[in-house]
Amino acid sequence: MSSWIRLGLSSREAYLNFFRRFPPLVEFLCLGTLTGLILFPLPGIQVVLLFTVSRLLCLLDVPVHWTHFLTRVWAFGFGFFCISLYWICQALFIEFNVFWWMIPLCFMGLPAFLALFMAFISFWFLGWAYTVPSKILQFLFLQFGYVHSKSVSRLIMAAFWWVSGEYFLTYFLTGLPWSLIGYTWSPVLIVAQTASIGSVYTLSFLTLCLAGIPYLYCSVVPSRFTSLYVKTGVAVGIGVLLFGGVRLSNPTEYTNKVVRLVQPSISQSPFWELEEQRLNLNLLLRLSQVGSRLADIVIWPETALGFYLEGDALKERLGRAVPEGSHLIFGVVKRDKENKKIWNSLYVLNHQGQIEATYDKHHLVPFGEYVPFRRGLEVFFPKNTIRKVTSGMLDFSEGAGPQTLHVSGIPSFAPAICYEAIFPGQVTSPHDRPEWLLHLTNDIWFGTSFGPYQHFQIARMRAIEEGIPVVRVANSGISGVIDPYGRIIKETTLGTLAVEDVRLPKALPTPPLCRLFFSIMAWFDRFDPFSSRKY
C-alpha cells in the first residue's frame, strides 16, 4: 500500500498543474460532460469517474464566493445533463415544421433548468449539510483515534449529497430519474446485483465513495485513516463482486408460458393517417401469427393502434390474431367522449375479442403527453397554438397508479408504459406483488440515438430491484425479455422489424431487500406535498 501512496504523491502536483491552465467554468463544464458519458452503455466507461469525481471534489474544496460556487456547479450540471439527455430533442424532429423552435429549448433549456436545480441544492447542502454532518463524522472518527479524517468525511458526505439529489429529482414534481450514476452498472451484472439490496441509489452511493479515492491523495498528505478507507473500499468492492457472483450462480427458472414480442417498427410521422392506420393494423395482425409454435401471450407495443378500440367488430378481429386460450396485450389510446378525456392505455383481449383487463398510464410525460400550466398559458396564447408533442390538442389524463393485473391463464403482471419504467420503486403495487413486469414503449421518437439503449438498461435495473422478470416490447426496439437477475434472455436489434417467441421466466420466490427500502421511502413520501408518487 505504501508504494501506491508514494505513486500518488509523486503524480499529485502534475495532476493538479495540468488543470490550472483552464478557466474554472470551462473545467466544470468539461468535468460534467465527461461524467455524463458514464450513462452510455459503453464497455469500461465507469473508469471515467475515478478522474471526474476526484477532480470535482478537489475544486469544491477551494473556498470561493457563493456566486462563483453556484455558477461553477451549474456549469458542471449543465454539461452532465446536456450529454446524458441530448437525445430527447430528437423527438421534435418528427414534426420539425411545428416544433423547430423547441429544439434549442429542449437541448439546452432542460439541462440548464436541471443544472440550476443541482446548483441550488448543492449550495444548501454544501453550506450546511456538507459541513455539519462532515464535522460530526470527523468527531466520530476521532473517537477511534483517526485524526486526519476531514477529506474522508467530506467525500462520504459529498456522495450522500449527490444521491440525495438523485432521489429528490426522482420524486419532486413530475420527476426525471434518468441520469442516475448507478445506471452505469446495468450492463455489468455482477456489480448491478447490489441494487437488489438498496436500489440503484445504493449503487450510486458506493460508486461515488469508491470513485473519490484519488481525491484523498490529491487533497491532503495521505494518513493512516486514508489508508484504512482505501482498504475498506477494496473490501467493499470485493464484497460487491462476491455478492453478485453468488446471485448470478442461480439459474433462470421458467414458467410454461410463451410470450410473443411483436416489434413492428412503424414510422411515427404518418402514423395517424387513416390509410396508414389500416396498413399498420394489417402488419401487426400478420406479425402476430408468425412463429413456429403457439404463443400464450402476444404483445404489441405502446399505442400500437392508431384508432380508438370502440367497435365490437374490431375487437373480434383483434381476438382472432391469437389462438384459443391465448391473450393479446397492446397499447392504445382510450377516450371518454362525454367528458372529453383520453388515456394512454393498455388492453388485454382474449381470443373472442373480449376485454379482460385495462391499465391507464399514471406517470405522464410533461409536454409530451400534456402541457403543464395549460390554463395559465391559454391566458396569453391562443388555444390552438398550445399543444403537446404527441398528436392531438387534448391532453392525456392520468391513471390511478401502479397496478397488478390478474387475468385467467396469465401470470399476474404489472404494466408500465413508456418512461414509467424509469422510476425506482414505482413500477409495481406495494400491496400486490406481480409475477412479471410488462413494459410497453415507443422509442422510435428517439431514432438510433443512445436514448433507447439507456431505456433498455434501466429496465434491467428494475428487474434486479423487484426480483421479477421484465418483458419489454418497443415499437422499433429494443424489445426483449430479462430475468429477475437482469440477465437478457432475448433482445432485438434497434430499428428493425422483429418477432420473438420467448418462455416467460419465473419471479424470485421472495422479493429482494430493496422492496423494504422502497416501502420505507414511500412512507416518508406521504409527508412530501410535492411528491409525484401515486400511492
Catalytic choice (334, 361, 388, 506): 361
- Residue 2, pLDDT above cutoff 50: no
Q: HSE on the CB side for 262, CA within 13 Å?
A: 30
At 147 the pLDDT is 45
Q: Does the global pTM surpass 0.75?
A: yes
CB atoms within 10 A of CB 431: 8
Q: How far is CA 104 from CA 26, 109, 310, 448, in A?
A: 21, 7, 40, 20
Axis-axis angle for helices 450-466, 195-211 (nearest 10): 120
- Region of poorest pLDDT, from 176-185, 194-203, 384-393: 384-393
User: Mean pLDDT score of the chain, rounded to an integer?
Assistant: 85
pLDDT for residue 4:
44
Which residues of the chain are in CATH 3.60.110.10 domains?
254-363+398-525
> Measuring CA to CA, which residue among 31, 35, 49, 30 is closest to residue 214?
49
Q: How far apart, in whole angstroms, are the C-alpha atoms of residue 103 and residue 442?
A: 20
So what's the pLDDT on residue 485? 98
Residue 104 CB neighbours (<10 A): 10
The pLDDT tens digits of the residues spanning 120-129 come to: 777 766 655 4
Percent over 90 (pLDDT), the chain? 48
Highest mean pLDDT: which range of 119-128, 159-168, 287-296, 489-498: 489-498
Catalytic residue among 27, 302, 420, 500: 302
6 pLDDT exceeds 70? no
Taking a C-beta distance cutoff of 8 angstroms, is the pair 326, 351 a contact? yes
Amino acid, single-letter form, for residue 324: E
pLDDT higher than 50, residue 187? yes
Q: What is the DSSP string of 162-188?
A: HHHHHHHHHHBTT--TTS-GGGGGTT-
Q: What is the model's pLDDT at position 415?
A: 98
Q: In angstroms, rounded to a whole number, what is the distance separating the alpha carbons of residues 478 and 492?
A: 6
Is 361 marked active-site? Answer: yes
* Annotation marks residue 27 as catalytic: no
**Quick one: DSSP state of residue 142?**
H
Which residue bears the cell 448470478? 248
pLDDT in tens, 304-343: 887 888 888 888 899 888 888 899 999 999 998 888 899 9
Which element (helix H / strand E) includes 208?
helix 195-211
Q: Distance of alpha carbon 251 from its chain centroid, rounded?
A: 26
User: For residue 313, what pLDDT is reported?
Assistant: 87
Please give the CATH number for the structural domain made up of 254-363+398-525.
3.60.110.10
Q: 418 catalytic, yes or no?
A: yes
| Catalytic residue, candidates 58, 209, 218, 418 | 418
pLDDT for 504: 98
**Mean pLDDT computed over 345-373:** 91
